[in-house]
């Protein structure tokens, strides 16, 4: 296969994936309609591990929770062409754009290009609250693709191929852009407890420790690329300072999938830490309860939280390669006629081109990728009984050289919550630039929602989708099966108004 044909296939796959991923039955990046609810239970760990001790539930069993999010500013479907149910209906009406007839068009502005895909599948999980202590166990699978700061002309060449004369004979000098992918499973244990309580003041803290098992990971990090595209077959690389690493279940010599090695390619650990302060409606009282279900919920006027999320990394040691191009240059002619048949061959050809040695670029047989670390702040205010408004901010934190970038978000979410019903309307600012409105609803044990409602109805140009859902069994504080009536005040610590 020639590099020209492989490049066209790769571009088509990447672009089509942005569209096809929307039909996977999973859900959103932050799940604003779930995580800040007092009925979230074990799902609230995702935003602040101390939240479980303040839950309206004394126990929950998560059957399945799914979260799918994808967005970008590289390609899009025109608003007038986007009809979700027609595109994936029986007749499959798919739009077509450009000379290559892609199902998406490209943005023609000069902005740096970003894309983010996050899939989270939370499997069997369990939470239990007993007095001033709470515990949770959970399992989850996560996939994240983070594309950050791609120069506009590289995005154009990716879409149009090298046959794009408007960008010929221009000296482009680009810095600090990268692509990172990570696929892993995590097994987590959470503990949360009451740190301080006096009068109507309550402070809680929590920590989640996660064991991480990586199935695949890879990255491309470019510190500097100084180049000129002379025509559709020649690139003058004046300087290349970049690094490439990957560990995937593929045999690099024959492209067999999966390879014959171990399923788990890398391992690591991660932690989440969080704290909450509550101004409760009633003061602390030393009273005992006879059973877990008789625990009462500490109703509050407002709650303020802060958390540090996804601190950790996965180190890949199986089938891993790190290639480094350390300020090298090359006048690469006939690049469009390059032929290769496997990953090992293309790596050796590129190394030969830049170093004059097919093995010189290979520097290590292990790579490490840092999780999408972030710091978060949350404020939750109850302005009328059962009516709340929540404000949450998430800001990315860079804790390594090779890392997943978690886009910044600010959200304001009014909600009504009761034991059987809940509705919320999250309003958020994605990447601190793109406003969006969502909706989420819970009926007893089932929740479904989106933080980007416009992604379903063609209210604007389609750049991505967000959807989430959860099925779990809830056990409410103050409700005991052997009593016919609500029993929150029998030997309870707090009254519920």
Kindly give, in sequence order, each residue whose CB lies less than 8 Å from that of residue 286, ignoring residues fewer than 6 positions away: 493
Q: Which of 27-31, 108-112, 154-158, 185-189 has the lowest mean pLDDT?
A: 27-31
Paired tokens of 89: 């209906």
Question: For residue 266, what pLDDT is reported?
Answer: 97
Average pLDDT score, the chain: 88
Q: Which pLDDT tens digit goes with each residue over 350-385?
A: 999 999 999 999 999 999 999 999 999 999 999 999
CB distance 168 to 153 below 8 Å: no
What CA–CA distance (Å, rounded) separates 216 from 246? 8
What CA–CA distance (Å, rounded) separates 497 from 486? 12
Kindly give, in sequence order, each residue whose CB lies less than 8 Å from that of residue 252, ignoring residues fewer than 6 positions away: 319, 321, 342, 343, 344, 347
Confidence tier at 113 by pLDDT (50, 70, 90) = very high
Q: Which pLDDT tens digit goes with each residue over 391-413?
A: 999 999 999 999 999 999 999 99
CB distance 476 to 57 below 8 Å: yes
Q: Which pLDDT tens digit goes with each residue over 81-90?
A: 887 666 666 6
Domain boundaries, the chain: 3-476
N- to C-terminal Cα distance for the chain? 71
| Nearest alpha-carbon partner for 72 in 130, 159, 140, 141 | 159
CB distance 336 to 248 below 8 Å: no
User: Which tops the pLDDT comparison, 421 or 288?
Assistant: 421
Confidence tier at 309 by pLDDT (50, 70, 90) = very high
Q: Quickly tell me which residue has 């406003």 as its tokens.
A: 435
What CA–CA distance (Å, rounded) separates 67 from 29? 6
Question: For residue 32, what pLDDT is reported?
Answer: 81
CB distance 372 to 409 below 8 Å: no
Mean pLDDT for 477-492 is 56
What CA–CA distance (Å, rounded) separates 275 from 206? 6
Q: Which neighbouring-strand residues pair with 330?
A: 237
């Amino acid at each position: 296969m020639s590099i020209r044909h492989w490049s066209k296939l790769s571009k088509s796959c990447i672009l089509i994936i942005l569209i096809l991923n929307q039909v996977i039955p999973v859900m959103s990046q932050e799940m604003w309609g779930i995580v800040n609810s007092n009925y979230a239970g074990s799902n609230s760990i995702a935003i602040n591990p101390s939240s479980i001790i303040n839950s309206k539930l004394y126990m929950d069993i998560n059957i399945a929770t799914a979260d799918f999010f994808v967005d970008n500013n590289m390609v899009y479907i025109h608003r007038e062409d986007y009809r979700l149910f027609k595109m994936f209906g029986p007749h499959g009406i798919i739009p077509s754009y450009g000379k290559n007839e892609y199902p998406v068009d490209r943005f023609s502005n000069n902005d740096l290009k970003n894309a983010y895909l996050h899939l989270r599948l939370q499997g069997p999980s369990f939470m239990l609250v007993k007095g001033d202590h709470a515990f949770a166990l959970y399992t989850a699978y996560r996939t994240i693709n983070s594309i950050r700061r791609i120069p506009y002309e590289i995005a154009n060449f990716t879409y149009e191929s090298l046959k794009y004369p408007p960008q010929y004979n221009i000296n482009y000098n680009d810095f600090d852009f990268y692509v990172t992918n990570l696929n892993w499973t995590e097994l987590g244990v959470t503990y949360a407890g009451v740190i301080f309580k006096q009068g109507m003041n309550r402070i809680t803290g929590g920590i989640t420790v996660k064991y991480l098992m990586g199935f695949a990971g890879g990255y491309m990090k470019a510190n500097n690329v100084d180049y000129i595209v002379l025509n559709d077959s020649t690139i003058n690389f004046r300087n290349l300072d970049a690094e490439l690493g990957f560990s995937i279940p593929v045999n690099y010599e024959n492209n067999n999938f999966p390879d014959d090695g171990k399923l788990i390619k890398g391992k690591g650990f991660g932690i989440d830490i969080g704290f909450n302060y509550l101004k409760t409606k009633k003061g602390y009282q030393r009273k005992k309860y006879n059973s877990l279900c008789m625990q009462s919920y500490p109703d509050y006027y407002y709650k303020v939280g802060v958390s540090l999320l996804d601190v950790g990394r996965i180190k890949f040691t199986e089938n891993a390669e790190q290639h480094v191009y350390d300020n090298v240059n090359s006048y690469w002619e006939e690049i469009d006629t390059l032929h290769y048949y496997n990953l090992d061959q293309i790596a050796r050809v590129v190394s030969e081109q830049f170093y004059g040695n097919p093995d010189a670029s290979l520097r290590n047989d292990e790579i490490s990728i840092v999780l999408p670390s972030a710091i978060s702040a949350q404020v939750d205010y109850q302005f009328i009984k059962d009516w709340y408004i929540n404000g949450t901010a998430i800001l990315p934190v860079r804790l390594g050289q090779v890392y997943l970038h978690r886009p910044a978000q600010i959200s304001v979410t009014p909600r009504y919550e009761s034991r059987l019903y809940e509705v919320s309307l999250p309003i958020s600012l994605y990447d601190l630039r793109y406003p969006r409105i969502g909706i989420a609803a819970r009926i007893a044990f089932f929740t479904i929602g989106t933080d980007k409602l416009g992604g379903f109805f063609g209210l604007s140009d389609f750049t991505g989708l967000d959807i989430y859902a959860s099925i779990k069994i809830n056990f409410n504080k103050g409700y005991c099966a052997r009593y016919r009536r609500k029993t929150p005040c029998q030997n309870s610590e707090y009254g519920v108004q």
